[in-house]
Structure 1
Amino acid sequence: MSLQVDAVADFICPWCYLGKSRLERALTHIQGDEQPKVLWHPFQLNPDMPVDGMAFDEYLEKRFGGRELVQPFLDELTVVGEKEGIAFRFDQLERIPNTLNAHRLIQIAGPGPLQNRLVDLLFSNFFEHGKDIGDNELLSALARQAGLDAAAIGRFQRRDSGLAEVRAEEKHLREMGVSGVPNYILNGKYAVAGAQDADALVRVFDQVMFASESNPAISSRLH
């Protein structure tokens, strides 16, 4: 049996970065003739974010009431990240970006290893290096680093390329009931929400891959 994971994420979501690490660890336990496929899909946590983003402290003030209220949560995430090999550097974040162009870039890259490398670069540059992943020059540089060809980068630099597709896909996901991230849709049928630990994901993968069409109980357990 094969496994396809449609991963819904936003690149400013720390739990999505943690979830990617756990997902990849879980996928190493999958055995079979076919390699599992992972496809990345767009979801903006802040669809009304200004095009140029917002200062991080201003964002924390508006969203959470200030840095002092959210700092314990950031400290906890830093500890959790260390266990996953992720060096969260929230102290280096100066801006929260609008991630629409990052999602456009992922859409233009298309599914496959190159797309996955680009997702890694977006997460690591934002969370571990404090980079503004809403900046188109940085996004173009990351695209080159990931291995996108000149034609694909040229399409990305045309500001409307991929825009309609990203908006339509996110609209479809919201209509399907996706309201938060990370969210994983397995083999187009079963949904797993949240940054589940790797062992839990392995158990779910086993259920999904060997589920029969006559066993709807698995779907209800996964939702």
Structure 2
Amino acid sequence: MFLNCLVALEKVTAPSFFQFKDRRYLSIMAESVSNNTGKKLVRIDVSSDTVCPWCFVGKRNLDKAIAASKDRFDFEIKWHPFFLNPSAPKEGVNKLDFYREKFGSRAEGILARMTEIFKGLGLEYNLSGLTGNTLDSHRLINFAGQQGLDKQHKLAEELFLGYFTQAKYVGDREFLLECAQKVGVEGAAKFLEDPNNGVKEVFPP
């Protein structure tokens, strides 16, 4: 089911604070190790697609858990690609039409629920715009990670915000570059210009 993909927290070996109630929203693997700051270092690997609403909800709640625990722990978060629909068209399709075709009579109820959940996070769930292939967004996220995991995490936030609240399309080059600029990713335009850059890293054969 589209909205329930990646909603299980598969493995958590981090401290108990990290097992917050919204763990069903993301596929996360975490481990805690000692570092030289006197605090435990929690390494978190997140597998997510940029068009998965539950993944955005999970990220927001993950961020809350991290913010509440920074006095005791340091965090290292790395994002990994997951493709809900690898064969989705690159040119994109109408988002609302796609949901209605995929979920049929259940669509309105599912979308109403997501609207309420987003409202609880202080966000407006925008159902207009396009959905489609997410390969370029994952290529960019991986590229950002090479410049720092903090940039990568911030980029994921910008992509989610644009797609789910501003009707931006994650397959649109202009939108991707706008997000990259906001978080300080350098060389994004040149990187994305070659469609082969980063493909093996995010979508291995």
Shorter-chain TM-score above 0.5:
yes
Deviation, 1:74, is: 1.2
In structure 1, C-alpha distance between the alignment counterparts of 2:181 and 2:155, rounded to whole Å: 9
Alignment of 1:47-196 (within 5 A): 47-65=86-104, 69-90=106-127, 93-110=128-145, 111-149=148-186, 151-168=187-204
Tell me how far 1:99 sits from its aligned partner. 0.6
Question: Which segment is superposed worse, 73-82 or 27-36?
Answer: 27-36
Give the superposed CA RMSD: 1.9
Q: What is the number of residues matched between the two proteins?
A: 164
Q: Distance between the aligned counterparts of 2:51 and 2:116, measured in 1?
A: 18
Distance 1:33 1:61 in 2: 45
* Closer/same/farther in 2, CA of residues 152 and 33 from structure 1, 3 Å limit: farther
* Equivalent pair of 1:122/1:133 in contact (CA under 8 Å): yes
* Bigger fraction of residues in helix: 1
Separation in 1 of the partners of 2:56 and 2:47? 11
Deviation at 1:34, TM superposition (A): 5.2
SS in structure 2 at match of 1:2:
strand
Q: TM-score, normalised by structure 2?
A: 0.73
The structure carrying a bigger strand percent of its residues is: 2
Q: Could you tell me which runs of 5 or more consecutive residues in structure 2 were left unpaired when the two chains were aligned.
A: 1-39
TM (norm. structure 1) is 0.68
List runs of 5+ in structure 1 lacking aligned partners.
172-223
Maintained 8 Å contact 2:177/2:188: no
Equivalent position SS for 2:44: strand
Q: Partner letter of residue 170 of structure 2?
A: I
Residue of structure 1 in register with 2:82 after alignment: 43
Displacement after TM superposition at 1:122 (Å)? 0.4
